[in-house]
Amino acid sequence: MNMKSNDNVRNIAIIAHVDHGKTTLVDAMFRQSGLFREGQEVDERLMDSMDLEKERGITIAAKNCSINWKGVKINILDTPGHSDFGGEVERALSMVDGVILLVDASEGPLPQTRFVLDKALQSKLPVIVVLNKIDRPDARPAEVLDEVYSLLIDLDADDEQLECPVLYAIGKDGVVMKTPEERGLNLDILMDTILEAVPGPQYDESKPFQMLVSDLSYSDYLGRLAIGKVINGSVKAKESLSCVKEGGRIVPLKVSKIQVYNGTVLADAENVETGDIVVLSGIDDVNIGDTICHSEKPEALPRLSVDEPTVFMKFTKNTSPLSGLEGKNVQATKIYERLVKETLLNVSMQVERSENQDDFIVKGRGEFQMAILIETMRREGFELSVGRPQVIYKDVDGQRMEPIENLAIDCAEEYSGAVTEKLLKRKGRLSAMTYEQSGRVKIEFSVPSRSLIGYRDEFLTDTRGTGIMNSLFAGYEKYRGDFITRNTGSLVADRTGKAIPYALFNLEPRGKLFVLPGDDVYEGMIIGEYNKEGDLNVNACKAKNLTNVRASGKDDAVTLTPVIPMTLEQGLQFIAEDEMLEVTPTKIRLRKAVLSAQDRKVLGKRK
């Protein structure tokens, strides 16, 4: 093999935990590389372009962009920090030659940093450590650096990876220093370190053009876009290309356009060189992991492998009496088409049809990833019903195996007892406990994935909103046994109509209500949480009997306890296995899977 490196290009990924400042740092790199002219108004966190990302302050989809520094093009991939979006991370790492590990100088490396870093070390990528937010009053850079080294050793980093450059940063001010005591002026040190520590992409001179498809996108003007790194050779626009699919099947391709990243936008390119990250448009039949190459010499590259899904949910069309009143996309075929489009763009999701033509099984990495998909769909005008997230079990040698998570909890010492008790009830196992000087405790558990469905809100309540909880998929283990997830029942409406204040006032002693006076209700809709186990059918439309007897105080207006509208995530965590969530662009309602009280009774007897 005749290996060479292209020194005109550097490909790096920025990896970090949620909220450690990745996207803010990339914005600062843009500003410094001269991408924006003086005085140009630019959105903060320019890379988080989806509305959902802006609202939640998180990165959901990995984004690509580029800057130029000292004549070298640096392609930057901003990866998500949530493990639910791990499929995005694996794809990003297949395109880069080095990573920047960004760690909060106060919080230190958290579990999901571990997830991405492990993937990077396995790929033998060089690491640049950047301790961010060192201006925080509770910053502890020396201790955090020790934690980073411990983590690298723990993940079997080799000597070269352990001798990584360490820099200190204040991302929001756009400054990087070599020591925490210095006062930085700009990001020059970081840019220079990238050129020194990250090698140019390696290629084999003797090989023809080969590009690995690592990501897919879609443009309303250009159709399907294939994104990937040119591994060997070069290509010009309008050349005849082929795609090597799974199993070695070769399909001829017509490429209408070749584009490269120039800042955050795509620019047309006549020809591209080895190592650059390119976007090919006009290709219909292409999947993640395929190899695109010259028609004369088709040769496949090793395919991308992605961790399999651990959670599934049932998606179906909205079958409630209110169907079609609030959304414009209500047909099962439209829902299926949208889910298939999602799997084309998101390699860690799968969709299958079930026996019933209108029901679809969507598999993914976690309930959060599913919630983001549902939220995106409702904003696009879809109406649908979804079931409770459930874990995917495996059968190995006749034994039932379930997915297990490593869970790290950081909370005040006074709440640790309640947290530990709840997790032990949910079949968790305590693996480590560390007491901090600040009066907080770090606890590590091994818990079944199903234990965490619906637990997050309970955890925040138990720790008065001060606890931090992070989980990481750890593999499959033998089924640990059943446990009760909810010891309350549901208040179920027994007829269709409008909720009436008088009826709701009389139902308040029965439990916590979810509906407001004037809301539409229908038979089988869940209008509240029952105080006791089991379900209670109630009449939320019952009006007060009017008589001609008048007495002082008899006709006083009723005062109802305020109702906080349920969020999508809360709804997914609340529903039981025989319940569903009705999601429309304007409302989230809870309902029974079987709406008729009579049919539910018959089903109950059969069971």
For residue 326 the two structure tokens come to 């609030």
Tell me what percent of the chain is helix, strand and coil, each rounded to the nearest 5.
Answer: 25, 35, 40
Q: Partners of 345 in the beta sheet?
A: none
Residue 513 has pLDDT above 70, yes or no: yes
Is residue 468 a known part of a binding site?
Answer: no
Q: Partners of 204 in the beta sheet?
A: 3
- E strand segments, 263-398: 265-268, 271-272, 277-281, 291-294, 311-317, 350-353, 359-364, 384-387, 390-391, 394-396
Residue 84 has pLDDT above 50, yes or no: no
Residue 467 has pLDDT above 70, yes or no: yes
Span between the terminal Cα atoms of the chain, in Å: 66
Q: Which of 531, 396, 377 is nearest to 475 (CA)?
A: 396
Q: Which of 365, 436, 448 is nearest to 406 (CA)?
A: 448
pLDDT (tens digit per residue) in 518-556 = 888 898 898 888 888 888 888 888 888 777 776 655 556
Residue 196 has pLDDT above 60, yes or no: yes
The contacts of residue 402 (CB under 8 Å, 6+ apart) are 391, 393, 394, 448, 449, 450, 476, 477, 478, 479, 480
Phi-psi region of 57 (alpha: psi -120 to 50; beta: other; left: phi over 0): left
Residue 81 has pLDDT above 70, yes or no: no
pLDDT (tens digit per residue) in 105-115 = 877 776 667 76
> How far, in Å, CA of 55 to CA of 595, rounded?
35
* 111 or 119, higher pLDDT: 119
User: pLDDT value at position 19?
Assistant: 61
Q: Which of 248, 187, 259 is nearest to 35 (CA)?
A: 187
User: pLDDT value at position 148?
Assistant: 84
* Residue reference for tokens 């029965």: 510
Fold classified for 3-200: Rossmann fold (3.40.50)
- CATH 2.40.50.250 intervals, the chain: 489-606
Query: Which pLDDT band, with edges at 50, 70 and 90, does 561 fall under?
Result: confident
Query: Which pLDDT band, with edges at 50, 70 and 90, does 264 fall under?
Result: low
> How far, in Å, CA of 489 to CA of 77, rounded?
46
- CATH 3.40.50.300 intervals, the chain: 3-200
Query: Which pLDDT band, with edges at 50, 70 and 90, does 60 fall under?
Result: very low
User: pLDDT value at position 43?
Assistant: 40
Tell me the pairing of strands 166-170 and 127-132: parallel
Query: Which pLDDT band, with edges at 50, 70 and 90, does 54 fall under?
Result: very low
- With a pLDDT cut of 90, the percent of the chain lying above it is 0
Q: Helix and strand tally (H, E) in the chain? A: 15, 37
* Residue reference for tokens 């088709």: 298
* Residue reference for tokens 């990833």: 369
Is residue 294 a known part of a binding site?
Answer: no
Q: What is the dihedral of CA 520, 526, 527, 533, to 10 degrees?
A: 170
Is residue 19 a known part of a binding site?
Answer: yes
The SS3 of residue 23 is helix
pLDDT (tens digit per residue) in 343-357 = 776 667 888 888 888
Fold classified for 207-294: Elongation Factor Tu (Ef-tu); domain 3 (2.40.30)
Average per-residue pLDDT in the chain? 78
User: Quick check: pTM over 0.75?
Assistant: no
Is residue 23 a known part of a binding site?
Answer: yes
> How far, in Å, CA of 315 to CA of 580, rounded?
10
Range of lowest pLDDT (14-23, 268-277, 295-304): 14-23
* Residue reference for tokens 């901090």: 436
Is residue 133 a known part of a binding site?
Answer: yes
- CATH 2.40.30.10 intervals, the chain: 207-294
Which CATH entry fits the domain spanning 489-606: 3.40.630.30, 2.70.240.10, 2.40.50.250, 3.20.20.70? 2.40.50.250
Concatenating the DSSP letter of every residue in 221-238 gives TTEEEEEEEEEES-EETT
Taking CA atoms, 261 is separated from 75, 76, 346, in Å, by 8, 10, 21
Backbone angles phi, psi at 21, to 5 degrees: 105, 20
Is residue 556 a known part of a binding site?
Answer: no
- CATH 3.30.70.240 intervals, the chain: 394-478
Query: Which pLDDT band, with edges at 50, 70 and 90, does 51 fall under?
Result: very low
Residue 68 has pLDDT above 70, yes or no: yes
Taking CA atoms, 63 is separated from 22, 53, 97, 115, 163, in Å, by 12, 12, 16, 19, 29
For residue 488 the two structure tokens come to 């309350």
- Provide the b/e sequence for 72-86 (b: ≥16 CB within 10 Å): ebbbbbbbbbbbbbb
* 260 or 427, higher pLDDT: 427
Q: Partners of 403 in the beta sheet?
A: 476
Query: What is the mean pLDDT of the segment spanning 136-158?
Result: 81
Residue 496 has pLDDT above 60, yes or no: yes
Class of domain 394-478: alpha beta
Q: Taking the CB of residue 278, how many other CB atoms lie within 10 A of it?
A: 20
For the chain, the residue count is 607
Is residue 22 a known part of a binding site?
Answer: yes
